[in-house]
Structure 1
């Protein structure tokens, strides 16, 4: 479940204030959308956490073989160019993009958009906010993204300058030319 708080009547939630808020409340999973609203996400339940972990392992194993980039968990917040501060369930950044960041940027919320993300819809998530989040990633420079929707047994595939493609599970998804050689079986 996601709760969105509009704090604009009492304070302007800048990126700097958001970072301070996250540091003061490390037990909370927080995001900030481009409208500077605070997003509070509830903890992941067992089944969703297991699926998310498997996806991280799939991407990490592929990445260990190719050494083309860096894999991140859902605990990582990215400061997107469009103004939001988001934490995808799984993220991958090319090595070149990562190495262009300063050490200070790497040790904070990286000021980049991942090249690839996965968002996994849990039973308590509404679909439309996740779709908006995927569009936000695209507008920020995302190259490839998967929105996995186990409830409808579908995956929405997001690509730069293309319509969203919806496929039905079970399916083997490809990393295409963004994550070459990656194939992930989804059968939930």
Structure 2
């Protein structure tokens, strides 16, 4: 029987190309790579978090199916950000015109762009500060709107370009504003 255990040294760094190879042969692992090349192995989400994450993605997908304004991605999608990091938001969306500028090869791999909209959903075991760092990274790399949904404290941190973070306590809905016109996320099943 094969041993499927992976141990990674704390200072282990990989290039984008090496990361793509590691991710391709370890499809069952949730991996990211920060801008300095450090490999990040994340535990799979629990069933409850996965269900709630799917609710967020499903609502976004349904809105996009009606508007056809862009492309929706789930949590297994990797993006190569302009700063060199390889990240996988829990849910994301890219404007159609930006997506269409990519070659078929770029669309097939880790798309070399930052999504226009990103969502990170905090599970009960997640530390909040690394998620906030990711949200700041998305904004610094070109995202227009981001939501950090903190189920543990029933708060949402809204990230926008060139603005302070807005914190909402226990909202029932979130607006996609002018980035996702007409999109309203119902948080009933997310909480």
The runs of at least 4 aligned residues of structure 1 exceeding 3 Å deviation read: none
Relative to the length of structure 2, the TM-score reads 0.92
Q: Name the residue aligned to 2:92.
A: 91
Q: Name the residue aligned to 1:160.
A: 161
The structural deviation recorded for 1:6 is: 2.1
Task: Describe the SS at the equivalent of 1:40.
Answer: strand
The structural deviation recorded for 1:137 is: 0.3
Task: Describe the SS at the equivalent of 1:162.
Answer: coil
The structural deviation recorded for 1:168 is: 1.0
Kept after mapping to 2: 8 A contact 1:4/1:37: no
Q: Name the residue aligned to 1:7.
A: 12
CA distance in 1, matches of 2:117, 2:97: 14
The structural deviation recorded for 1:103 is: 0.6
Give the number of equivalent residue pairs.
Answer: 182
Q: Name the residue aligned to 1:117.
A: 118
Deviations 1:69-94 (A, max 9, x none): 00000000000001110000001000
The CA RMSD over aligned residues, in Å, is 1.2
The structural deviation recorded for 1:4 is: 8.7
Q: Name the residue aligned to 1:55.
A: 56
CA distance in 1, matches of 2:167, 2:10: 31
Task: Describe the SS at the equivalent of 1:109.
Answer: coil
Task: Describe the SS at the equivalent of 2:61.
Answer: helix
CA distance in 2, matches of 1:124, 1:169: 19
Q: Name the residue aligned to 1:128.
A: 129
Task: Describe the SS at the equivalent of 1:130.
Answer: helix
Relative to the length of structure 1, the TM-score reads 0.94
Gap regions ≥5 residues in structure 1:
none
Cα distance change, pair 99–143 in 1 and its aligned pair in 2 (3 A): same
Gap regions ≥5 residues in structure 2:
1-7
The structural deviation recorded for 1:186 is: 1.6
Verify: 1:150 aligned to 2:151, yes or no.
yes
Cα distance change, pair 5–91 in 1 and its aligned pair in 2 (3 A): farther
